Amino acid sequence: MKISTRGRYGLRAVVDLALYSKSGYTSSGNVAERQGISGKYLEQVFNMLKKAGMVKSIKGARGGYMLACDCETTTVGDVLRVLEGKLSVVESSDHKSSTEDPMGRFLEKHVWSKIDCMINDIVDSVTLEDLVREYKRMMEKSSLIYYI
């Protein structure tokens, strides 16, 4: 499984909104500039997130985007599933019956589904609030200046 640019940029944009839109709407241009993402591409990503109810927007000079979801309960998995679909290392082989492909069924049960569970467990255990907190902590550490 490889997360596409849509998933990677979308997660960056959502975390950016969690950091910078607490007091109001943030323009997509500001998010694009901070994150180094094409503005047009970011608009497409925001549209997907808006349809899923994760962000809301207002048009106009004072408009922009802000989160419509709760940072404390929304997980990385929630965001990635909106943008990527099902998180799985292999595509399901629904087209073959279990009697036609016993090895495929065996590997699905003993390998692929276990990997999928581990991936989902990880992305579902990290909330947007966790990321915001860790990002702020990282930025505080990097901004410390030591004088001798």
The predicted-structure confidence for 16-63, as pLDDT tens digits, reads as follows 999 998 888 999 999 999 999 999 999 999 999 999 999 999 998 888
Residue spans per domain, the chain? 5-142
Cβ-defined contacts of 2-7 (< 8 Å, 24+): 3/80, 3/84, 4/83, 4/84, 5/41, 6/44, 6/45, 6/48, 6/83, 6/84, 7/79, 7/80, 7/83, 7/84
The predicted-structure confidence for 7-22, as pLDDT tens digits, reads as follows 999 999 999 999 998 8
The predicted-structure confidence for 94-139, as pLDDT tens digits, reads as follows 555 556 789 999 999 999 999 999 999 999 999 999 999 999 999 9
d(CA 65, CA 39): 13
Q: Is 5-142 CATH 1.10.10.60?
A: no
d(CA 81, CA 60): 30
